[in-house]
Amino acid sequence: MRILIITQYFWPENFRINDLTAALLERGHQVTVLTGIPNYPEGRFFNGYGLFKNLRQNYHGAQIIRVPLVPRGNGSGLRLGLNYLSFAVFSSLLAPFLCKEDYDVIFVFEPSPITVGLPALVLKKLSAIPILFWVQDLWPESLSATGAVQSEFILNMVRRIVGFIYHGCDKILVTSKAYIPSIKDFGVDERRLHYFPQSVETLYRPIGSDSDASESRLLPNGFRVMFAGNIGAAQAFETILDAAENLREHDDIHWIIVGDGRKRHWVESEVKRRALSRNVHLVGRYPVEAMPQFFSLADVMLVTLKKEPIFSLTVPAKIQSYLACGKAIIAALDGEGNDLIREAKAGLCCPAEDSDALAEAVLKMSLLSKAEIEEMGRCGLHYYEANFEREMLTNRLEGWMRDVCNKL
């Protein structure tokens, strides 16, 4: 098939759409990617990129076509809004001129913003190309939950846009089954809705802990609780810091944060203000290839979310990464993610934003034997292989793509 992928984020930015593109290429499909100029998460264009630099590239055989956008800057509301709007506008205006091939299907990757679907609707209107829309993030719920938008007028405008996009898509894929009722509320026929969870890159796998690895030199000795990923508003870092304060007298327990994001500077200042530098360690952002080695050096992996209705419907993508590496998990979140970890028997769970319960879970895990923690990791790995394995999910996606092509 000739597949056009539309995504605001793509390589060298680190998103799961990169690996899904590679998986489709491995199957022999011809893939074109319409995307923006990379600027996530730093907020500025990556070195070597600009409004007139590297707008055409190749990724493992996929043709990349980049359109201009306003970089996200420090992630403030206005700058982020301009970032979202500029990609939607420029891609919608330029797609008919830049993407002229006779595509069989358009696949839209939507972690945020949902306006990434607009250029797909333009192309469908002009060329009758069917659209598969992969929802990672529910709008407008996420906007209000993170505090990005409080105005009911703006939220109602966004709802109209969301409904317009959903109704224009041939199939809507969701990363969480709990998203389905919210999307049905827009009048979407349930027969067009399908559960399509995230898998992970094949590099995520169990590997032995190597004390001589360069990553090891960045980490303190002791019981290592590791959070990997975005340091943002949704991740409830105040809960993590409160829990670390509760356990500050346990010198052997260390909280390791691998990643970056718009709240990193706030976390660093809080660590300093609370005098937690001995227990909380921000080691920075590293390429995805380094993650399995970092995970192998942790005793347990950590996932957290804010206590908001929208986040109780969400399964953070990092959970699959943790499971695939055979690591035990401590989860401070509600709903779908919590249920998944319990069902997998992959770790300990507590309610979102409950710092006392999180501290208790970490202390309990630190007192378990190595064999007990490793058994949780093995259970998680088995669950991953049964539910999120890459080839199985790629087969499922190919089937849906062929289905919408055959209906033309």
Distance of CA 193 to the CA centre of its chain: 20
Read off the pLDDT of residues 47-104 as tens digits, 9 standing for 90 and up: 999 999 999 999 999 999 999 999 999 877 789 889 999 999 999 999 999 999 999 9
- Looking at the fold, whether 259 and 340 belong to one and the same domain comes out as yes
In a domain, 206, yes or no: no
- Looking at the fold, whether 74 and 188 belong to one and the same domain comes out as yes
Contact 350, 360 (CB under 8 A): yes
In a domain, 44, yes or no: yes
- Looking at the fold, whether 323 and 396 belong to one and the same domain comes out as no
In a domain, 204, yes or no: no
Q: What residue ranges in 55-192 does DSSP mark as E strands?
A: 56-59, 62-67, 105-110, 131-135, 171-174
CB-neighbour burial class of residue 250 (10 A; exposed 0-12, middle 13-18, buried 19+): middle
Query: 19 φ, ψ to 5°?
Result: -70, -35
- Looking at the fold, whether 186 and 219 belong to one and the same domain comes out as no
Which domain covers residue 85, as residue numbers? Answer: 2-199+389-406
- Looking at the fold, whether 229 and 150 belong to one and the same domain comes out as no
Could you tell me the pLDDT band of residue 215, with boundaries at 50, 70 and 90?
confident
Distance CA 114, CA 22 (A): 23
Read off the pLDDT of residues 350-372 as tens digits, 9 standing for 90 and up: 999 999 999 999 999 999 999 99
What integer pLDDT is reported at residue 153 of this predicted model? Answer: 87
The encoded tokens of residue 134 equal: 């992969």
The encoded tokens of residue 343 equal: 């069902």
**Sheet of 56-59, strands arranged across:** 56-59, 62-67, 30-36, 2-6, 105-110, 131-135, 171-174, 193-195
- Looking at the fold, whether 235 and 368 belong to one and the same domain comes out as yes
Distance CA 146, CA 290 (A): 29
The type of residue at 190 is E
- Looking at the fold, whether 222 and 288 belong to one and the same domain comes out as yes
- Looking at the fold, whether 290 and 347 belong to one and the same domain comes out as yes
Number of H helices, E strands in the chain: 15, 14
In a domain, 240, yes or no: yes
Contact 178, 335 (CB under 8 A): yes
- Global pTM value: 0.88
- DSSP, collapsed to helix, strand or coil, labels residue 257 as strand
Pairing of strands 347-350, 105-110: unpaired
Contact 136, 34 (CB under 8 A): no
DSSP conformation class of 45? P
- Looking at the fold, whether 402 and 383 belong to one and the same domain comes out as no
In a domain, 205, yes or no: no
Read off the pLDDT of residues 3-34 as tens digits, 9 standing for 90 and up: 999 999 999 999 999 999 999 999 999 999 99
In a domain, 209, yes or no: no
- Looking at the fold, whether 73 and 150 belong to one and the same domain comes out as yes
Distance CA 155, CA 169 (A): 21
Contact 148, 80 (CB under 8 A): yes
- Looking at the fold, whether 251 and 330 belong to one and the same domain comes out as yes
Q: Assign residue 284 the CATH number of its domain.
A: 3.40.50.2000
In a domain, 208, yes or no: no
- Looking at the fold, whether 259 and 381 belong to one and the same domain comes out as yes
The encoded tokens of residue 33 equal: 């990617």
In a domain, 82, yes or no: yes
Total domain count for the chain?
2
* Preceding omega of 140 cis (within 30 degrees of 0): yes
